[in-house]
Structures are given as structure tokens and as C-alpha cells.
Structure 1
Amino acid sequence: MDHELFELAEQLGRSLKADGKKIATAESCTGGWIAQAITEVPGSSAWFDRGFVTYSNASKVQMLGVRQETLEKYGEVSAETAMEMALGALANSDADCVCAVTGIAGPDGGTTEKPVGTVFIAWQYKDGGCEVIKKQFAGDRHQIRQQTVKMAIQGIADYKLMLATGG
């Protein structure tokens, strides 16, 4: 694992552990890479609850409670789906916060409206609202997924800080 990613996961872990909080992940395009990065950190069992790898639409519905209507109306790669994935992971875990990702890593699957590299990342805290961002990453499949993982891990720490400061 690259050093920068390990450091991000380690920093997140220290912050969550200090607050007595746990995280869960809900991943589509990253296929469990966020959970893998988190569990590379020794002692992560103190702050990592579980990860959901929901690559298919059926798994998003079955495991996370994403509504079929949401998938049909907005698509599996959308802010709405990412938000429902985050809410579902929070509801189906013992975590205090969640990050959820869905996107098009390529090389195929892109459209004019949602080209390859389109990713939605959602962060949700039990005691706060849901933050969702849309990113357009460049690069090959590996690079797009790697950028998504880094942003997801960094974002949960940033979002946690924003909630703490009332930002």
C-alpha cells in the first residue's frame, strides 16, 4: 500500500479512537479498497466496524436498503445512491460514521452525462447530516479507484472536523 494512503488511514484511526468512534464503509467502484486500507493499520479493530462491498445493484438494495426507485431514477452512480448507501451502512452497522462510494472506474461504462472517472462520495455521521460530493477523476482504472480511496478516507476526517467546529 502506498505510504500516503497508510498515513491517511492511520490519522483517521487516531482521531476516531480518541473520540471512541467507529467507522463503516459502503463501497462499489473501489471493491473493498477503503476497508483494506483502513485494516492495514495495526489496531484498526478498535475503530473499524465493518465494510460493505456492494458492487451490484442487487447488493445495494439487499445489504444497504438502497431503494430500487433511486437506482432507476438517478442511476447507481449518483449522489442519491451514494447517500442511500451511506445511510444503509450506518443503519446496518455499529458505526458512528460511514463513507460510501459509487462511480465509474472504467475503462468502459462511461456516458456523456457520466464519463469514466465520475465518482460520488458520501460521508455520514450518526449525529450529523450527510455530505455528498461529485468528483471527476482522471487516469486509468487503478488511478481512478486509488484517488477515490484517498479522498474517501481524507473526507471522513475533514467532515468530522467540520462537524466539530460547526463549519
Structure 2
Amino acid sequence: MNIEQLATDLGQALKNKNWIATTAESCTGGGVAYAITEIAGSSAWFNRSFVTYSNEAKQEMLSVSSATLAEFGAVSEAVVFEMACGALAASRADISVAISGIAGPDGGSEEKPVGTVWFCWADATGWRQTTCCHFEGDRKNIRLQAIAKSLSVMLERATSMAE
């Protein structure tokens, strides 16, 4: 499914549920928020976005712990978990997604190669889901795959929670 269709479907599912979304993005640089706000009327179901490219921004805007960053690094399950929870706390949203990864072409390591992207989705019911993906391709393709993944799991959650 394409990104525009995912964002459109997410919007409809969130409107049906009367939920608001927020994003906390690092490696995608606001791409998820861009995809969402390309949809006319998205202000009805999208509150705000946090583009926290630096560790300092993650700490200041989303209350990510410096100890978590030091122990696990920015591209980790622990950090995206704190980002997703921080985005919910710093917004009026009901559901969030947090993304941190290595889009390349530099910055990878043996432990975390280029294409490694961690995600966490969280919602106001207390539900949390984290996953790590290893995407292939150049920087643009890695980011596009991460945007699509972010939207697709938010859509799955919003649809499964539909009343």
C-alpha cells in the first residue's frame, strides 16, 4: 500500500475513533507528519509532531533520559519507547509513533548497520508496541520504508480499536 493511502486510511480510522495522533521522529525527519498533513482535513486527527533529530532535542522535547541514551544509544528500543511515551505526554494525542534509525549512507556499525530502524507505538490505553526493522536501499528508500511502517502499524491499531 502506498504512503498516501496509508495516511488517508489512518485519518479515517482515527476520525471514527475520535482519536488524535502525534509523531516523534528522528531518522524520518518529519516524513510521517508530512505524509499525514498532506491529507486534507488532517487537523481533525493530527495534533503535532516532534522532529527530534539530536539527542538534546529528544531529552528537551520528549523527556528521554540521558542515562537511557548513554546506555543504549539513540537507535534503540529503550529510546523509542521513551520517545513515544514522551510524545503522548507532551501533546493532546491518543496515539503516537516514535522512530529512530540509521538511514545512511554513513553512521552504521556492525551492531547497528545502515537500515536499522527502531519503532515504538503507544496509545492512551497503555498499549505499547516496539519493533526493529532492517530496511534495504539508499537513504531515501530507507526513510520511505520507515514512514510506511509507522503509518501501517498506527492504522492497524486504530482499526483494531474501532468501536
TMscore range, shorter length:
over 0.9
1:82 — aligned with what? 80
Distance 1:74 1:123 in 2: 19
Distance across 2 between alignment mates of 1:11 and 1:160:
10
Distance in 2 (alpha carbons) for counterparts of 1:65 and 1:137? 28
> 2: distance between equivalents of 1:15 and 1:160?
6
Whole-Å separation in 1 of the counterparts to 2:131 and 2:161 = 16
Identify the match of residue 50 of structure 1 among 48, 51, 54. Answer: 48
Instruction: Give the Cα separation in 1 of the matches to 2:101 and 2:2.
Output: 22
The aligned amino acid for 1:47 is: W
Would the aligned equivalents of 1:29 and 1:102 in 2 still touch at CA under 8 Å? yes
State which of 135, 146, 149 in structure 2 corresponds to 1:148: 146
CA RMSD of aligned residues (A): 1.4
Provide the TM-score with structure 1 as the length reference: 0.94
Q: Which residue of 2 aligns with 1:127?
A: 125
The share of aligned pairs that are identical, in percent, is: 47
User: Structure 1, unaligned stretches of length 5 or more?
Assistant: none
Q: Partner of 2:102 in structure 1?
A: 104
Q: Corresponding residue for 1:6?
A: 4
Greater relative CO (CA pairs within 8 A, separation 6+): 2
Determine the C-alpha separation between the residues in 2 that align with 1:81 and 1:122: 9
CA contact (8 A) 1:90 1:97 kept: yes
Gaps of 5+ in 2: none
Give, in angstroms, the shift of residue 128 of structure 1: 2.8
Moved over 6 A (4+): none
> Corresponding residue for 1:159?
157
How far the C-alpha of 1:129 sits from its partner, in A, is 2.0
Alpha-carbon shift at residue 158 of structure 1 (Å): 1.3
Structure 2 residue 72 is matched with structure 1 residue 65: no
Cα distance in 1 between the residues matched to 2:75 and 2:30: 17
Amino acid at match of 2:44: A
1:22 paired residue among 20, 23, 39: 20
Shift of 1:162: 4.5
TM-score by length of 2: 0.97
Provide the C-alpha distance between the structure 1 equivalents of 2:90 and 2:81, rounded to a whole number of angstroms: 14
Q: Judging changes above 3 Å, is the alpha-carbon distance between structure 1 residues 72 and 163 closer, same or farther for their aligned structure 2 residues? A: farther
